[in-house]
Structure 1
Amino acid sequence: MSPNTAAAASALSARIPGSKSLTNRALLLAAAARGTSGLWAPLVSDDTVAFRRALTAIGISTSTTPSDECWEVTGTGGGPYAPGRVWCADAGTAARFLPPFAATGRGSFVFDGSEQLRARPLGPLTRALTRLGAEVAAGPDGGLPLTVAARGLAGGVVELDSGLSSQYLSGLLMAGPLMTGPLTVDVPRLVSRPYLDMTLALMRRFGADVSEDAGTVTVRPGGYAATDLVIEPDASTASYFFAAAAVTGRTLTVPGLGSSSLQGDLRFARVLELTGAEVEIGLHSTTVTGPAGGRLTGGFTVDMGEISDTFMTLAAIAPLFDGPVTITGIAHARLKESDRIAAVAANLRACGIRVEEGPDRITVHPGTPRPAVVDCHRDHRIAMSFAVLGLGSSVPLTLDDPACVAKTFPEFHTELNRLFPEYQIRLDKEQ
Structure 2
Amino acid sequence: MKIHLDKSLPGGNIAVPSSKSYTIRGLIAAAQANGQSHIISPLIADDTLATRQVLSELGIDISTDAGSESWEITGNTFKAPSGNLFCRESAATLRFMSAVCARLPFECHLLAGHSLMRRPMLPLIQALHQLGIEIETRGNTTVINGQVITRSKVSLPGNISSQYVSALMLMAPACTHGLEIHLATPPASLPYLKMTKQTLGSFGIKVHSSIDWQEISIPPQPYLPARYRVEGDWSSASSFLALGAIAAPVFISNLDTDSFQADRIMIKFLAEMGAEIESGQNWVKVNPKPLSGINADLTHSIDLLPALAVAAACAKGQSILSGVRQARIKESNRIRAVSQGLSAMGINIIEEDDRLIIEGGQPKGAEIDSFGDHRIAMAFGILGSVVGETHISDAECVTKTYPDFWKNLESLGGKVTQDV
Structure 1 counterpart of 2:4? none
- Does residue 224 of structure 2 align to residue 229 of structure 1? no
**Structure 2 length as normaliser, TM-score?**
0.93
Moved over 6 A (4+): none
Counterpart for residue 25 of structure 1:
25
C-alpha contact 2:116 2:331 (8 A) present in aligned 1 = yes
Task: Determine what percentage of the aligned residue pairs are the same residue.
Answer: 33
Query: What is residue 3 of structure 1 aligned with on the other side?
Result: none
Alignment of 1:169-208 (within 5 A): 169-189=165-185, 190-208=187-205
- The one-character-per-residue Cα deviations of 1:151-205 (angstroms, maximum 9, x if unpaired) are 1212411111131110000011110001110200111221101100100111111
2:144 corresponds to 1:160: no
Deviation per residue, 1:45-102 (Å, 9 max, x gap): 111111100111111110013577111111107xx33234210010111111001101
2:324 and 2:419 map into 1 onto residues whose CA distance is 29
Deviates more, 1:107-116 or 1:279-288: 279-288
1:416 aligns with 2:412: no
Deviations 1:323-362 (A, max 9, x none): 1111000111110101100111011111121110111110
Partner of 1:322: 316
Q: Select 1:256's aligned residue among 254, 257, 282.
A: 254
Which residue identity lines up with residue 311 of structure 1 in the other structure?
L
Shift of the alpha carbon at 1:305? 1.3
Contact kept, 8 Å, 2:384 with 2:390, in 1: the verdict is yes
Greater relative contact order (CA < 8 Å, ≥ 6 in sequence):
2
Question: Of 354, 357, 361, which residue of structure 2 is paired with 1:360?
Answer: 354
* 2:3 match: none
Which residue matches 2:394?
A: 401
User: CA contact under 8 A between 2:372 and 2:394: conserved in structure 1?
Assistant: yes
Alpha-carbon offset, residue 430 of structure 1: 6.0
Q: What's the counterpart of residue 88 of structure 2?
A: 89
Query: RMSD in angstroms over aligned alpha carbons?
Result: 1.6
Number of the residue aligned with 1:8: none
Which of 295, 298, 304 is the matching residue for 1:304? 298
Q: Offset at 1:24?
A: 0.5
Instruction: Describe the SS at the equivalent of 1:93.
Output: helix
Deviates further, 257-266 or 338-347 = 257-266
**CA distances 1:292-348 after superposition (whole Å, capped 9, x unpaired):** xxx3222x3110111110111011232211111110001111101011001110111
Q: Secondary structure at the residue paired with 2:106?
A: strand
Match of 2:351, SS state, is strand
Go from structure 1 to structure 2 and tell me whether the alpha carbon gap of 1:21 and 1:68 turns closer, same or farther (over 3 Å shift).
Answer: farther
Is the CA contact 1:34–1:74 (under 8 Å) kept in the aligned structure 2?
yes
Alignment check: 8 A CA contact 2:15 2:254 kept: no
**Residue 44 of structure 1 contacts residue 68 of structure 1 at CA under 8 Å; is this kept in 2?**
no
TM-score by length of 1: 0.91
Residue 374 of structure 2 aligns with an amino acid whose one-letter code is H
Deviation, 1:259, is: 2.8
- Alpha-carbon distance in structure 2 between the residues aligned to 1:328 and 1:287: 26
Structure 2: runs of 5+ lacking an equivalent: 1-10
Asked whether the 8 Å contact 1:211–1:218 carries over to 2, the reply is yes
Q: Secondary structure at the match of 2:39?
A: strand
Relative to structure 2, which stretch is displaced further, 194-203 or 275-284? 275-284
Listed as ranges, the gaps of 5+ residues in structure 1 are: 1-10
**What SS class does the counterpart of residue 387 from structure 1 fall into?**
helix
- Which SS does the other structure have where 1:274 is aligned? helix
1:342 to 336, 339, 342: 336
Give the counterpart letter for 1:205 in structure 2. S
Report if the CA contact (8 A) 2:20-2:48 is conserved.
yes
Amino acid corresponding to residue 148 of structure 2 in structure 1 = G
3-state SS of 2:15 partner = coil
Give distance in 1, aligned partners of 2:407 and 2:176: 49
Mean Cα deviation higher: 377-386 or 267-276: 267-276
The amino acid that maps onto 2:163 is Q
Residues 1:57 and 2:57 are matched in the alignment: yes
Structure 2 CA distance for aligned equivalents of residues 20 and 349 of structure 1: 30
The 8 Å contact of residues 348 and 359 in structure 2, kept in 1 or not, is answered as: yes
In 1, Cα distance between equivalents of 2:67 and 2:323: 40
Contact 1:111 1:145 in 2 (8 A): yes
Q: Whose helix proportion is higher, 1 or 2?
A: 1
Report what 2:267 is aligned to: 269
Q: Which of 364, 373, 377 is the equivalent residue of 1:370?
A: 364
Question: Given that residues 242 and 310 in structure 2 are in contact (C-alpha distance below 8 angstroms), is that contact kept between their aligned partners in structure 1?
Answer: no
SS at match of 2:300: helix
